[in-house]
Chain A
């Protein structure tokens, strides 16, 4: 680690980043007017933007100071934090590219180099970034290590394997056996052992020694952060709900990619306070909430604004989603006294690694506790674990709960497969059913 690089990083962290953020803030004074259908926007948005921009901004100066790891959204990142890795989340970055409606361009780069257009668009965008160096975030540091877990999909394993090969860097894979009925003791032991097996590799790559106390501290912080995130989502049970799920898609970023760090912990306290306040004062995310909806699957990043407006104008608000809930659902298992096994339980049982009976039960519970009137399912060609089974989930839910539901065929980040006309017709028909029921 060079002293110069470290000094530069410190200066940028303490002075450079705040200055740039302030500058950006001045530039962005001219805000877009909020459409009438929406309530007042969340104050926390500003802080969220700051945190995320700062994270990407600082990553440019991290080379020679900290080791960089690319991590999947469901990986047990707490272990990496104990070695002070600077973590980049390719899924988060791909979502950012998607939200900027540039997904097609990045996918095109990957496709041109020989990757099929039938593979996940998060992966194609990331591979497009890797092959071209392009990113809307300015510049991303090259990874020293890749860390993935197939608890969200097997795809990340194939994807990270391709990066590891291209960049010739180590890949650590955390194998999380799919839960077909319930986790067995063998599953838990296997995962716990894998985590412990990783320590010597992480020590070697990071050049740091593992201290259990530091790790426990991080674990505690992570638990507390997830709990706050869960409480924020819980607050959306209020009528009117203080935020929409489209807000939550954005506010999800720290729990996914900064989990275990103080900045994420602090941020959710700020958001929690604001949300609580809005509930007390009866401020809703949309001005007139008449219908409450549930969202299933990952966001359609390039259409978030369009969908938010479309539904808000019809007095419909998304108050819960299986997606946002994924980072709160299983953290109850975490236990500092038994870190390895408790992490195995937490990370092994998340929604996408669990059977569809569990998912149906969870969705049913969410629909009831959040007083939901209708369901929108995004069937995404990119994500098989989230999408295979949706047709039958829909059938079961509409039959058991007498709930109108619609399935939108789209993609998470490749805007080229969006079929405006078709989606519009489906959405209009869904709204008519909902209003008529």
Chain B
């Protein structure tokens, strides 16, 4: 099921023509209307009228979160405020808040793109959609709300919080699609379990989850506990909100809305584009935004672009689920290592638990990295040979993924420190 087949199945050649046309007019508009970009182009000696090919993208300046803060509140808007019909703001939990704006056309585009994401996840006009994302300055609630209405579904704008009421409404209103963060989906599932509610008595069929990184293990847990198809979707307010990318029912990577955004993956250290398919920082350029266009926005989210075609038939490429933030990156022996890469490999190996710790030390002049991983108890009752085999398997796979040698130690269940909030995965003992 496609929402906009013409665009979602566009040929690469036609897509690139469209992207070039749209990027050229975006460059014209930011150079004319946004002093920040005019200045940047001047500094980097970029002629916005001289842009000829998508391959020249790397010559354009980056935009960072700090640039948004420096131009707080309206400095980066490309249209006068009288043309802006909506203002959203990021939470500001990691510093000063940032502000983004939308024209009437921007809201329309937003609705179209979230409608694509919803359709890809299975939602149709027959569905009853419970949106448990916050409404307000946060973009999550409104963005998917518009898309769900555009699709023609019956929308329950319940917003976040009040778990018991969420469950009550889910039962009474016969909700078929749930939209929230993946962790909240698990809270709902656990609460229902405590309340003795059999989830198979619910009408739920689909869940669209986003707003925070999650894992394949969590997807399985949500799917099993709620009996739904759980898809991932991605967005950020600086670009638009939800609708930037979303999974289809293949559940194997998020389709990028490449007719409205250009996606690049760069090495966050060197700022050079990575080789196709490699992990790095996602960088996004808007192609159709009117009020708040951004050029090469550094998302600080880590992912990789999947070049292989998706069996669903969409020609829009996919990105892998966000594996973490660039802030989590470690540099060991000059190699970039992301905790999520290690997590991904451990998850594939039978007998391991999803708890691990990465210890980085310096012995003499050399970095040494040790992965402590919890394993199921039975391994320790087995003969030593099995333990050694497991260690060797993990070592071999980590070495081939990371490109550096890694020590591995198996520890018993529940021996690694647990934290209340975000787990502490990395212990860096190097004194540099």
Whether chain B is bound by chain A comes out as: no
Binding site for A on B (CB under 8 A): none
Binding site for B on A (CB under 8 A): none
